[in-house]
Each structure stands twice: as structure tokens, then as C-alpha cells.
A and B are shown apart, each in its own frame.
Chain A
């Protein structure tokens, strides 16, 4: 095709069509150049996952489709201005009137995403329970409690969305976690006590006990949980004044923020409770032992909630030599318990913390071998509905 003919040809085009087609293919061109030449990130802190590395072509990979999948992921993970696009997307969706983002109802189990509530709060969208995970978990936990025959405290923790309903968007549907609580409460008998935190943590108390950008309770919420738990055990809780709540300097953007990255979101502050009176608390994880319960390496990372105990491990043992009562507490738990441990450590000489999601030993033997005197289950209700731990409590 010679130049004149090309000109002639271009003249026939509708100029606007030419412009938008040019925009399309220029974007494609820039995108390709970016994919090829821009420096690559290995890890995305916002998503807490390793990004796809350069795909390797193998016959096997083509046959089972994993090669194709990995190219797709690679293009997505290293796309130009990825975070800007994601942030812009949140703004556009909010601008169009949406108040919940990041849902996926065609997926099993369904993902409800998050609500953008009042007072700069993000909340989990609580969905009605459609699986038997919850009932099997509760069944297994109560059976475990009956089997070990020591005082057992079951503390289901409601979500922020449950406790701060007035902050949810107008008329936003939110599953009532009372339903699950009542199911747990009905199991209360013998050595099992169920602790009700619904009124304690409610925003009607005038206090905000949850992070704005994270699904956990904040340190003050954890203190209330601690208080309720030890009061049930007839221990008088350490008063709040005995702790110095020191903020982590860097702002905290939690898991809910990660589900819908938004540039106008106010961050949270994580407070670490330092006990003013206490000498030395040690934490043992596997074979390693630390002094203190706060892990400094997380102070500067995105996941600041993991500053408490360094996140979740299969077993942590926290010892306080100042406490001479020889009480040994076992906690089976999810991450909600982590921020409660600094408070609990003031009342027990030993706390054995087991996260069943990572624990694969015989827990019944563990209780016997370590001469546990009291046991507690600290779980967020949402976690009990979503993740099965029942098989880890099987009697072997």
C-alpha cells in the first residue's frame, strides 16, 4: 500500500473512530512495553501474596493449562499502574452509588465483600450461613470441652458489622450473628460457660472497639474481651490503667482496606498494651523463645496486627514468672485472641495458645501432658462459619 493510498484510505474513516481506535491500540502498546521493560515486583503487600513470576513454558504446563493460567496471572499481576487502576475503580464504583464492593456471589462459598459505612469505617458484609461448617465446628468444640473435663470458656466474638449496625449504609442487609451465638449458648452446660460480648462491644457503649480498616477488634475491644473472660473465671481483671497503650507510629491499613483499596480511606492506629507492673513475659514458638509479646518487625510492615505474637502459629506458649498461681490456660483460637494475650498474661503463669488451623498433633494428649487447668475458645463468629477446624479436634 503506497502512502497516497493510505492517506486516501484514512480520509474515508470517521475521524472519531480513528481517534478511539488509536487510543485503544496506543494503550495496548504502552501496556506491552510496560510488561516487557518495567521493573517487576515480587510481592504485593496489599494483597499479602507473591506475584506471578515469569512463566516457563513446558509441555506439561500447556497440557494441563497451568502455563496459560500463569501467563494470565503474570499479565494481571504486573499490569501497568495496577494499584492506581484498582484505586480508581473503587472511587468510580462508590461514585456510581455502590456502597458494597468486592463481593462474589457466584463463587462457593460466596464472598460478601465490604460495606463502606459511616465514620470512615469499612465493614465485612455478613452473609447468612449456607454451609454446615459452623455447626460442625461448634459440635466439635463442645465435644472437646466435655472430653477434657476442665473449666471451659467459649467466647464467640461478633464482627464489627454486627456491633456497629448504625454505621452500615442505609438499609444494608447484614446477617444477625445472634443466631450463631444462640446456637452456641444452647450448648452451655456442665463445665462449659459461654460468654456473651454482644452488649460489651456494642458501639452504643460509646466506644469503638473495632478497627476501621481491619476485621479485628482493636486493642480496647480485646481488653473488654479479656475482662469478660477472666471475670467468668472469678479472677479480678487487671485495670486498664495498669497498661500503657503505646501507638505504632506508622498508619495501619488492614484487611478490609485491602479488599477495596480506596485513596480517601483514613488509616487506623495499632496500640500495644505494655503492662506497667510486670517484669518478664516470654513467648515460645516451636523451639524459639522471645522476651515480650510484641514483634517489632511487623511495626513497619503492612500487616501490623501481626505485631501481637507475630501472627498465628500452631502453638505458642506464653509464660509469666511473676504469676505464681500455677494456673495453666489453654486457648484454641483464631487471630482475635492474639491481641488479648498481653492482658491475659498478667493472670496466668502459663498460656498455651493453639491455632487449630495449623495444628496437627493430638490436642487431647497436649492437654494432659501440659497439665492444663483451664481452657477457652476465642473465635470470631465469622471465622467459625467460614473455616472448618472440626477435624482437628477429632478424638483419636
Chain B
């Protein structure tokens, strides 16, 4: 189930909210846990058992780690085994197809490619499980005694399928002890709606342009730029919209979960971009990979190695296709360069060029991210830099029909939009009325897009 759907908004959400607020305190987590399982089972019922066994296994592992606290060797063994098992599951379900495929193409053999459907959210909840065990091992949080509470942490539906990746340490206390207030609830309601707008009004519409450019192939320079920009904004509003909805929903149940995006496209360096983009993933890799490897408190060579490992892993985490590894490697190179010398140069040039540098690099990065076929991605980047016709019909047409949306998207991804609307909202009664009315209008328009998705003229009608 996705948040931006009629079934979620008009059936699932009201049901879970009503029950959650009706049941007594000690059943509230159980209520969330059960609804989360329904939420998860909605698309792929079988995998709910996979997730339940992961939960049971990690719960047990957490206990063993606590039990062997005094005995470092034993505790470490349990930790390593359970990390391996979690990663093997992730590897099997997510990467086996890619690995077998690649093996076949290198060796010329025809090992049958395993036909596994990726369980939704497995990349997210595996990372959350890992963070649980590592936090316990490090003594940063106590093991969860109650398996329902632990299950709620892993399966909590707001962050289950697309993050934010919540570290156990951040949620442990809230699982036992949180207060639901009207204030939090309304902040959550507003936040959810903002996410809905981002997803339905901006991301989904930009996706059409990005998809169209990919479908048509061999873009002119203008078309290549428009397609790349459309994807750049699409993925930001899609992902950050989803995070907004997740954070808002968590608020409605009295939880506070961490922020995931902080205006990534205003960054003035690539390193800064990654401190503003998918923050919880960056934090996870920093806490559980980069720092354990030695981080930057080691020799320069090791530091470079650590950065390379983290960024390639970050790339591969995004999907089982080599273009994602390539995209990760691209960032590894950029960030290493910035660490070694580039940042010093950047500091000397005007702010505008620093911004332009990091924005352009992220746009090019998204080309490698969005084209599964690496050759095509290079073709598009070449077209962007003049190795193609300047314009074509598609380019001019897309420029005319998408200019308003692209401008709005650019405006909304700067801090300016937020500043202006907040100013309006705090400027007295008239401002408040205008703000609320505008918000309500956007909500209605979003609904029209949701309903429009259900409108499917029967294909054979065309005959």
C-alpha cells in the first residue's frame, strides 16, 4: 500500500487511527504492529512471514547479545552471525538476480537466474534491524524486552517501505513512553498533506516528462536537459514527499522520527548535498560503516578507502543494477576529490558558482541513476553537453508545456517558498486565511489526481 492512494487515505488510515485512539495504552503498540502487518501484507502477502521471522530472529539475537555482554567474544560472535544472516537475506532477495546475471555474462555460462520478487521495504527494515543489534552491542540502547514493541519498531508502517531509516536508539524510548497530543496530531496532519502535494502535484507530473524523454530515446540537447531536470525534481519531491508523509503519520501516533531531507538542491558542495539528501541513510552509513572503518581519523589513504567503500555501498543499496554502483562510485570520486583538494578551491569562488557546481553534478548523477542502461546514460550526458542536435520538436514542446511545472518545482526546492509561505501564515488573520484556503485548494487538486488514477477507460474500447 502506498500513502498517496485512496485506499490508504480513506480506509486504512481512518481505521488505524480510530482503533489506536480507542484501545488502552498497553495495547497501542500491538494495534500499530497488527495494522503494520496488514499494511505490509497488502501488496505481497507471503513476505509478511519473511518479515515476521526477521523480527523474531533479531529479537532473539538482541537478547543473546545482552546476555553475553560480559563475554565480548560471544557477544561479538552473535552479532556477526546475525548481521551476516540479515545481509544474506537482503542479498538473496535483492541482488541474487543481478549477481547470477553478471556471472553468466562474464563466464558465458547459463546458470538459471533466480526469479525472486523483491519484498518491499526489505532494504529499509534490514538496515533498521542491523542498527538495533549494533546499538545493543555497543550498549547505546537496551535490548527490547517486549517482542511486540520490537516488532512495532521494525514494522511501523509510516517508515516501513521508504524510510526514513530510524535508528533503534532514536525510537527505543518512544516505544515505551510517548504522549499523543493534539498539537503533534495537527502538525502531523499538515505534514502529511505537504507530502501528498509533493508526490501528487509535482513528482508524478514530472515523472511523465522524465519517462517520455527516456521512452523516445536519442534526445536533443534541449530534450536531454529537460528530461534530466524533470527527473532531478521528480526524485526529490517523490522521496522527500514520502518522507514528509511518513513523519506526519508518525506524529499522528505521537512519535517523532528524524528528518530525511533538508533542501538538498541549495547545497554548495557535493559533500553538503549528501548531508542534506536522504539524511537517515547517510547517518546510518556513517554510524555503522564509515566510523567503524576508521572514518577520517586515520591515514589519508585509509580515509579515501573508507569513503570509496561507503559511497559504492550507498549506490548499490539503491537498487540491484550496475548503474547504481556506478552512480555511487561517481559520488565516491567527487567526495574524495572534495576532501583532498577541491573544497579548498571551491572556497575561493563565488557562492553562485559553488551552487551551480554541485547542482549540475547532482543532475548528471541522476542521469546515471535513472538510466538502467549505462551506455544510454552516457549518450544522454553527451547530448546535454552538445553532442546532439540542439533542439527538436519534443524539446520545444516539453519546454512550453512543462516550463510552469519546472519553475514551480525549482521554486519549491529552494528555501524561498517555505520562507514566503511561513511569512504569510504568521502575518495575521488575513494571511492565515489565505494560507489555509490555498492549502485546502491544493488538497482538492491533489484529490483530483488521486481519483484520476482510478479512471481507466477500458483498453478494448479503442477498437
Binding site for B on A (CB under 8 A): 6, 9-10, 12-21, 23-25, 27-29, 31-32, 35, 46-49, 62-63, 65, 68, 71-73, 75-77, 79, 82, 85-86, 88-89, 92, 96-100, 103, 105-106, 110, 127-128, 169-173, 215, 255, 258-259, 261, 312, 334-335, 357, 383, 386-387
Residues of chain B contacted by A357 (CB below 8 angstroms): 463
A215-B462 CB under 8 A given contacts A16-B425, A71-B7, A86-B448: yes
Query: B451 at interface (Cβ–Cβ under 8 A)?
Result: yes
> Does B439 make an interface contact (CB < 8 A)?
yes
CA distance A23 to B425 in the complex (A): 17
**Which residue from B43, B214, B443 sits with its C-beta under 8 Å from A105?**
B214
Q: Assess whether B457 is in contact with A47, with CB atoms less than 8 Å apart.
A: yes
A17 touching B186, Cβ below 8 Å: yes
Residues of chain B in range 417-463 having any CB-CB distance to chain A below 8 Å: 425, 432, 435-436, 439-440, 443-445, 447-449, 451-458, 460-463
Binary contact track B196-217/A, C-beta < 8 Å → 1, others 0: 0000000000011001101110
Which of A21, A29, A79 has a CB less than 8 Å from the CB of B451? A79
In-complex Cβ contact of B436 among A12, A16, A105 (8 A): A16
A35 touches B10 (CB 8 A): yes
27 A-B pairs whose Cβ atoms sit less than 8 Å apart in the complex:
A6-B182, A12-B181, A13-B183, A14-B187, A17-B186, A21-B189, A32-B11, A47-B456, A68-B42, A71-B7, A72-B6, A72-B7, A75-B10, A75-B11, A76-B6, A76-B453, A76-B454, A82-B454, A88-B448, A92-B445, A92-B448, A96-B405, A97-B405, A128-B216, A170-B396, A171-B396, A171-B397
Cα of A7 to Cα of B214 in the assembled complex, Å: 54
Residues of A near B10 (CB, < 8 A) are 28, 31-32, 35, 75, 79
CB distance from A7 to the nearest CB of B (A): 10
Residues of A within 8 A of B403 (CB): 97
CB-CB < 8 A to A25: which residues of B? 14, 189
Q: A97 and B216: CB pair below 8 A?
A: no
A115, chain B: closest CB distance, angstroms: 10
Which B residues are in CB contact (< 8 Å) with A72?
5-7
Contacts A13-B182, A98-B401, A171-B400; is A85 near B451 (CB within 8 Å)?
Answer: yes
Chain A residues whose CB sits within 8 angstroms of the CB of B44 once the complex forms: 65
Chain A hits for B14, CB < 8 A? 25, 28-29, 32
Q: Which residues of B contact A18 (CB under 8 A)?
A: 182, 186
Q: Known contacts A20-B443, A75-B6, A97-B404; decide if A48 and B457 are in contact (CB<8 Å).
A: yes
Q: Smallest CB-CB separation from A89: which chain B residue?
A: B448
Q: Are B186 and A14 in contact (CB under 8 A)?
A: yes
Instruction: Indicate if the CB atoms of B401 and A99 lie closer than 8 Å.
Output: yes
The count of chain B contact residues (Cβ–Cβ below 8 Å) is 65
Q: Is there contact, CB below 8 Å, between A79 and B397?
A: no
| Distance, CA A128 to CA B453, complexed state (A) | 25
Q: Please give, as numbers and ranges, the residues of chain B lying within 8 Å of A82 by CB-CB distance.
A: 451, 454-455
| Complex CA–CA separation, A89 to B446 (angstroms) | 9
Cβ of B402 under 8 Å from chain A: yes
Q: Which residues of A contact B443 (CB under 8 A)?
A: 20, 23-24, 27
What residues on B are CB-neighbors of A73 within 8 Å?
Answer: 454
Does A312 contact B463, Cβ atoms closer than 8 Å?
A: yes
Of all chain A residues, which has the CB nearest B460? Answer: A48
B59 contacts the other chain (CB 8 A): no
Q: How far is the CB of B36 from chain A (nearest CB, A)?
A: 15
Contact A170 B185 (CB under 8 A): no
Which of B42, B457, B463 is the one whose CB lies under 8 Å from A335? B463
Q: Do A27 and B7 have beta carbons less than 8 Å apart?
A: no
Of the candidates A17, A23, A79, A335, the one whose C-beta lies within 8 Å of that of B440 is A23
Task: Report how far A15 CA is from B186 CA in the complex, Å.
Answer: 9
Question: Is the CB of B107 closer than 8 A to any CB of chain A?
Answer: no
Beta-carbon contacts under 8 Å, B165-198 to A: 181-183, 185-190, 192-193
Q: Which of A27, A31, A334 contacts B463 (CB 8 A)?
A: A334
Q: Give min CB distance, A46 to chain B, whole Å.
A: 7
Task: Please report the C-alpha to C-alpha distance between residue A28 and residue B215 in the assembled complex, in whole angstroms.
Answer: 37
B397 A172 Cβ-Cβ under 8 A: yes
**Does A10 lie within 8 Å of B455, measured CB to CB?**
no
Residues of A contacting B9 in the complex (Cβ-Cβ under 8 angstroms): 28, 31
Q: Report which B residues bind A (CB closer than 8 A).
A: 5-7, 9-11, 13-14, 42-45, 181-183, 185-190, 192-193, 207-208, 211-212, 214-216, 392-394, 396-397, 400-405, 425, 432, 435-436, 439-440, 443-445, 447-449, 451-458, 460-463
**In whole Å, how far is B189's beta carbon from the nearest beta carbon of chain A?**
3
A20–B455 CB distance below 8 A: no
By the criterion CB–CB under 8 Å, are B456 and A105 in contact?
Answer: no
Which chain A residue shows the least CB distance to B399?
A171
A-side contacts of B193, CB under 8 Å? 20, 24
Chain A neighbourhood of B188, CB < 8 A? 21
Nearest CB of chain B from residue A302's CB, rounded to whole Å: 10
**Given contact pairs A12-B182, A100-B401, A24 touches B215 in the complex (Cβ within 8 A):** no
Chain A residues closer than 8 Å to B460, beta-carbon distance: 48
Interchain CB contact under 8 A, A48 and B458: yes
Which one, A79, A92, A103, A258, contacts B208 given CB within 8 A?
A103
CB <8 Å contact, B461 and A255: yes
Write out the residue numbers on chain B whose beta carbons fall within 8 Å of the beta carbon of A170: 396-397, 400
Report the bound CA distance from A312 to B193 in whole Å.
47
* CA of A148 to CA of B189, assembled, Å: 70
CB contact between A24 and one of B189, B396, B449, B451 (< 8 Å): that residue: B189
A92→B200 CA distance, assembly (Å) = 13
Separation of A17 and B393 alpha carbons in the complex (Å): 45
Which chain B residues border A171 with CB–CB below 8 Å? 393, 396-397, 400
| Whole-angstrom distance between the Cβ of B172 and the nearest chain A Cβ | 26
B45 lies within 8 A of A63 (CB):
yes
Question: Separation in Å of the A335 CB from the closest CB of chain B?
Answer: 6
Give A102's nearest chain B residue, CB to CB. Answer: B457
Are A48 and B402 interface neighbours, CB within 8 A?
no
Q: A28-B14, A72-B5 are in contact. List 11 more A-B contacts (CB 8 A).
A: A10-B182, A12-B183, A20-B439, A21-B186, A24-B193, A48-B460, A49-B457, A72-B6, A75-B10, A79-B6, A79-B10
Bound CA span A173–B217, Å:
13
- Which residues of chain A are near B214, meaning CB under 8 Å? 105
Task: Give complex CA distance A97, B10 in Å.
Answer: 31
Which of B192, B452, B457 touches A85 (beta carbons < 8 Å)? B452
> Which B residues lie within 8 Å of A16 (CB)?
190, 425, 432, 435-436, 439
**Structural contact, A173 and B216, CB atoms closer than 8 A:** yes
Q: B448 to A105, Cβ gap below 8 A?
A: no
- In the complex the two chains form, is B183's CB within 8 Å of A97's CB? no
Task: Indicate whether A105 sits within 8 Å of B183 (C-beta atoms), given known contacts A32-B10, A71-B7, A72-B7.
Answer: no
Q: How many Å lie between the Cα of A178 and that of B10 in the bound state? A: 49
Min CB–CB distance A159 → chain B (angstroms): 12
Task: Give, as a whole number of angstroms, the nearest-CB distance from B16 to chain A.
Answer: 12
Q: Given the known inter-chain contacts A6-B182, A18-B186, please indicate yes or no for A97 contacting B401, CB distance below 8 A.
A: yes
The reply to whether B448 and A13 form a contact with Cβ atoms under 8 Å apart is no
Whole-angstrom distance between the Cβ of A67 and the nearest chain B Cβ: 9
Which residues from B are CB-within-8-Å of A79? 6, 10, 451, 454
Residues on the A chain within 8 Å of B439, using CB: 16, 20, 23
Is the beta-carbon distance between B461 and A172 smaller than 8 angstroms?
no
**Which of A23, A24, A47 has its CB near the most chain B CB atoms (within 10 A)?**
A24
Query: Which of B6, B13, B405, B454 counts the most chain A CB atoms within 10 A?
Result: B454
Once the chains bind, are A103 and B185 in contact (CB under 8 Å)? Answer: no
Max chain A Cβ within 10 angstroms of own Cβ: one of B211, B396, B443, B448 = B448
